[in-house]
Structure 1
Amino acid sequence: MNASTYFKTENAERYLGTLCKHFGHKVPVTHEAGCGRIELPFGQCMLRADASALNLTATAPDKAQVDKTIEVISSHLERFAFRENPTLDWTYSDSSVSSTAA
């Protein structure tokens, strides 16, 4: 199951790097210019940065694990980007369910 969102920001590349560096001390991470992948024990998150937004896609075997992945990634992004107060509206690809992680 997948869920995706984006955060409109001019600092997308910086937040991508911060998230990857932070999680890289704890779990497997890949990071290249403009993209990254964080592999949590219960799911993974793909990140893509461009000049105007950070796009995130969480993937896990079931909704409970996708939700846990979303919770962990969202809480860290909110902490790192607190000056911009991100509101993330996640859209699930396997259903029409939508969730706002605040």
Structure 2
Amino acid sequence: MLEATSRFETNEGQKYLVQLCKHFAHKIEVEHAGDRGELRFSCGTGFLLASAEGLSIRVRSPDDRSLGETKAVIESHLLRFAFREPSGPLLWTPAA
């Protein structure tokens, strides 16, 4: 499995975690408890962790194409929900 991580700096990490989990729960299997969320897409899984400083994201997929797709779907929705935040594309780092 391949993994990548990113972080979205915001004071609204919990808000965006809840928003992403509720949005995707209509389409895919989602687990949400407190400051954590898990999004299970057909292309991979996203793990979210909210804090007072932001939203940490880790994605896991079986191959490069699926990893790119998982990153793209989470990132596009997060940036759409956070349109009032000063942000650009997320910086993704391959996980060790």
The TM-score range, normalised by the shorter chain, is over 0.9
What are the within-5 Å matches in structure 2 for residues 54-69 of structure 1? 54-69=55-70
Contact 1:28 1:38 in 2 (8 A): yes
How many residue pairs match? The answer is 94
1:33 CA displacement: 0.8
Which string of whole-angstrom CA distances, capped at 9 and with x for unpartnered residues, describes residues 23-80 of structure 1? 0000000001100000001101000001111000010001110100001000000100
Which stretch has the larger CA shift, 53-62 or 84-93? Answer: 84-93
CA distance in 1, matches of 2:36, 2:6: 15
Unaligned runs of 5+ in 2: none
SS in 2 for 1:5: strand
Alpha-carbon RMSD: 0.9
Extract structure 1 runs of 4+ deviating beyond 3 A: none
2:28 maps to which residue?
27
CA distance in 2, matches of 1:44, 1:81: 21
Residue identity (%): 39
Unaligned runs of 5+ in 1: 95-102
1:85 CA displacement: 3.7
What are the within-5 Å matches in structure 2 for residues 5-84 of structure 1? 5-84=6-85
Structure number with greater CO (CA < 8 Å, separation at least 6) is 2
CA distance in 2, matches of 1:86, 1:71: 15
